[in-house]
Amino acid sequence: MRVHIDTTRCTGHGMCEAAAEDVFEVGPDGITHLLIDPDPSQRREVEAAVAECPTRALSVEP
Amino acid sequence: MVTPGLVQADPELERGLLELLLTDHGAAGPYEGYRWLQSRAPRLRTGAGLVVLSGYRDCEAALRDRALGKADESLGFALAAVPEELRRRAMRRFRRTMLFRNPPDHGRLRRLVSQVFTPRHVEELRASVVLRVEELLDGWVGRESVDAISELALPLPVGVIGDLLGVPESDRAMAAPWVRELVAPLEPGADATAVAAAAAAEDQLADYFTALLADKRARPGEDLLSRLAHARGADVLDDDETVGTAILLFAAGFETTTNLVGNGLSALLAAPAQRARLAAETDPAKLGLAVEELLRFDAPVQTNGRTALADTRIGDLEIHAGQVVLMLLGAGNRDPAVFSDPDRLDLTRREGPPLSFGGGLHFCLGAPLARLEAAEVFPRLLTRFPELAPAGDANWRRGLSFRGLATLPLHPGPVRTQNRKDSRYLS
């Protein structure tokens, strides 16, 4: 599972952090970063984060 | 051709809309008016071209639509005659904050401060929020009557945001009335007097924060204003943006949360079974749901506006570039198509997020902090004072966009001595 963060769109709302706290973290630069390469078992949380992103900055490949 | 579901320029509807936007709604709130509008014209285009949305799904779609952005819509609802020059002057700096900007400026301004308000960082504030709640409630012990607004709902969030920003404790009370005047033009009924007062209040707030930011730049601390002062030094934002952002964070940090606490408490006092449920609740997930329901039931912010930056559609409704869209978030929160028995407070409801924090790019930056403050204050208050009861009539503020109480007199009653089971943070 590959997660892509469009750093030009991300404004660090942190909704992804709320949905998948083990995967995303908003850094001091105000944009989110991947903490880990998510495991297939985390797919549901990651997909929730992608769906909830207010700026549509996240995408996930199968 | 008439768009289905869209009712254009009907004199009776326009009169009803004006009444809804301009009347003082008091304890009952604007909810009957919303229902009337929602059932007759969930998508209303007025003769002047303003699009008014009152359905949940339409509001949600509009909030997330990137073609609907920010322009002069915040000054465009003004239904009273206000001179153009005065409108431009009001909120001159405030309107250069992220609240009223589009990409890429919106992102540039928001990223500067976003990390501080993420759920992870806000969690670190929990212990200090709990301490503030307990201190304020200590002041209620043994009292015949208290005002829940000035003795809890206001000082709690002002204290929390004041600490976060680094606003000295002694200055906070002074700045609070300026904030009320500053945001008054966001009310649809704002007249020339209110807009002039807002311009003056912004100047006062700007003078105050300019001096404070200079101080932070000379002697930086760990607080948010020091971070802003540093960013100004690095030319990430200009003077007006810096001062405007400081004002915005301070203002947004309490005007809304005060009303979440006040409106929520008022709703709970009127619903004894729900109140008893919340007082006994210790499961954080269920507490979270309860807070969402209180946000839905009587939202602190009832309206939000956008301007079409390009032609777009909301469902089958065509919106053309330049048109202003007013979203009645409080109406969407009571939409029977989404919420069953929407006028009933049900703290276990799981029917979708309320619109109360807005959505899309401008989704409330402080939402995690507001949720945390609410989740700590309600159960602590209700457990500590099990016989809490109204002490006379509550006094509601005027206006629709910001719905809240001026005063909420209460009899605290005797204190429950036994500790809550989850007194994790209190030894």
**Could you report the predicted ipTM of this complex, rounded to two decimals?**
0.83
Give B60→chain A minimum CA distance, Å.
11
* Chain A touched by B117 (CB under 8 Å): yes
Does A52 or B269 have the greater pLDDT score?
B269
First to last CA, chain B: 69
User: What residue spans define the domains of chain B?
Assistant: 6-426
CB B356 within 8 A of CB B293: no
Beta B324-328 vs B51-53: how paired, if at all?
parallel
How many CB atoms neighbour CB B208 within 10 A? 19
What is the C-alpha separation between B387 and B279, in angstroms, rounded? Answer: 11
CB A27 within 8 A of CB A36: no
Closest by Cβ to A17, choosing from B110, B119, B360: B119
DSSP assignment of B111-155, as one string? HHHHGGGSHHHHHTTHHHHHHHHHHHHHTTTT-S-EETIIIIITH
Q: Which of residues 3-62 of A touch B (CB under 8 A)?
A: 8-15, 17-18, 21, 25-31, 54-55
* pLDDT score of B174: 87
Sheet with B324-328: list strands edge to edge: B6-8, B43-45, B51-53, B324-328, B303-308, B68-69
Question: DSSP letter at B420?
Answer: P
* pLDDT score of B254: 72
- CATH number attached to the domain at B6-426: 1.10.630.10
* pLDDT score of B321: 95
Tell me the chain B residues in contact with residue A31 when contact means C-beta distances shorter than 8 Å: 111
Tokens of A43: 């797919």
**Which pLDDT band, with edges at 50, 70 and 90, does B2 fall under?**
very low
Tokens of B279: 């007082």
Read off the pLDDT of each residue in B189-218 and give the average, rounded to a whole number: 93
Nearest CA in chain A to B365: A13
Tell me the chain B residues in contact with residue A14 when contact means C-beta distances shorter than 8 Å: 114-115, 117-120, 368
B383 by Cβ neighbours in 10 Å (0-12 / 13-18 / 19+) ranks as buried
Q: Which residues contact B279 (CB under 8 A, 6 or more apart)?
A: B379, B382, B383, B386
Its pTM stands at 0.93
Does A47 or B90 have the greater pLDDT score?
A47
Structure-derived torsion over alpha carbons of residues B154, B157, B160, B162, reported in degrees to the nearest 10: -60
**A2-61 maps to CATH 3.30.70.20:** yes
Specify the 3-state DSSP secondary structure of B333.
Answer: coil
Q: Where are the alpha helices (DSSP H) in B281-366?
A: 284-297, 329-332
What average pLDDT does chain B have?
91
Nearest to B332 by CA among B61, B58, B126: B58
How many CB atoms neighbour CB B69 within 10 A? 20
User: What residue spans define the domains of chain A?
Assistant: 2-61
**Which pLDDT band, with edges at 50, 70 and 90, does B214 fall under?**
very high
* pLDDT score of B4: 52
